[in-house]
Chain A
């Protein structure tokens, strides 16, 4: 079986249309308060809660993002279980027990895909209705298995913790019994996946501080990407919050969560700056007669 699958080769049927971060960031429209003239905030907050006028559509869109994210997480964990030989963790090998953890994660993700498909149906969403951002799988394409752990298990699954916490809270506030229940169960799995990544990253790089440093730096790069231009963050400008408590349970230190929070804010500020520049450019264009 082929190893090291590039993102372009992911198998999808004709219902799915893929996009990437570069394409998403070209969209100069915004919901954040860039300046007084262009403020498009939903009342006082952008946070995805039932009191937003577009609450159910926002939740449906996010649920679809979760569903395709689960597919990519399944693919990422499956690839890591398969792509590397069993060994002592040095070079391109991974411990056999790490392979088993990746296989278990792939099983969990497959279950999450099924749950997410059923939830999407329940919420009135068709599969493939929204573009699929492949940035999650891109974090799983490194040739170094430890970078994959940092990118997938800590950054991607860390994002999943934030998103599931948000959706669980949404289900709770809206009184949607299925949404709250399912998100709670999937959240528990995600905490386990992040913990597996945290534990294996520490264990495999125990005697290789340079490799650990490189992996953590890679994780920071991926974490900033996964902020989606500040769509995740601790202020109410971000639709998705940072789930500090569950991240702590998953093995993130306070310092690590503070760093992610800071990067989320940086991503939001950079996004605002880019939008300001686009607005200035648009304003400079001549008005048609």
Chain B
């Protein structure tokens, strides 16, 4: 894990009207995550504040160390669920951490076949979320494993085989795209 990140981080919009978020708070969280995950690429975070939903997406405009990573988040993904429209650093850490890991995966050559995030199937999304959440959890980001198990079960079925596949993804650290979507 890299101790220092040189990532240049930008946030759009710079001022929020629908939610009580500060762009600097998002920069702070992403700076911390980039450092933790060893990402030195420029990172652009785009928040859609007009919806309370929580869809996330990651893009990389290349595969080099200076390719820009774009993290898209609907405002609900960064929200304090106890105080609507207020920012939660914990929620942002979990959401943007998963998304940054996805973007980092996309820099690998064995993810060249992965569809764009908006074109992923629900099952592919669930598998990738599990893989990212498991890695984040081991890095000390506060996550509820049961939440991700429930999400996975909703896509792959409520069965022992499904649960075993979830555990494999959750505990994995170095999967290719093909291995990731292998399923139960």
Contact = CB atoms under 8 A, between A and B. Distances in A.
Interface string A121-161: 11111101111000000000000000000000000000000
A253 interface: no
A122 B153 CA distance: 11
Contact of B81 (A130, A176, A285): A130
Given A40-B53, A176-B158, A285-B17, A27 B85 contact: yes
A29 B122 contact: no
Residue of A23, A123, A130, A278 most packed against chain B (CB within 10 A): A123
B18 A29 contact: yes
Contacts of B49: 29
B54 A57 contact: yes
A27 B52 contact: yes
Contacts of B157: 175
Given A28-B18, A124-B146, A129-B81, A55 B154 contact: yes
Nearest to A18: B82
Interface residues of B, number: 32
Interface residues of A, number: 42
Contact of B150 (A27, A29, A122): A122
A22 interface: no
A288 B15 contact: yes
Contact of B147 (A24, A125, A176, A278): A125
B54 A54 contact: yes
Interface in B19-74: 19, 49-55
Interface of B: 14-15, 17-19, 49-55, 75, 81-85, 122, 125, 144-151, 153-154, 157-158
10 contacts: A29-B19, A31-B53, A40-B51, A56-B151, A123-B147, A124-B151, A131-B81, A174-B158, A177-B158, A278-B18
Given A27-B85, A50-B154, A57-B147, 16 more contacts: A29-B51, A29-B85, A30-B50, A31-B52, A40-B50, A54-B54, A124-B145, A125-B144, A125-B147, A130-B81, A131-B84, A176-B158, A278-B18, A282-B17, A285-B17, A288-B14
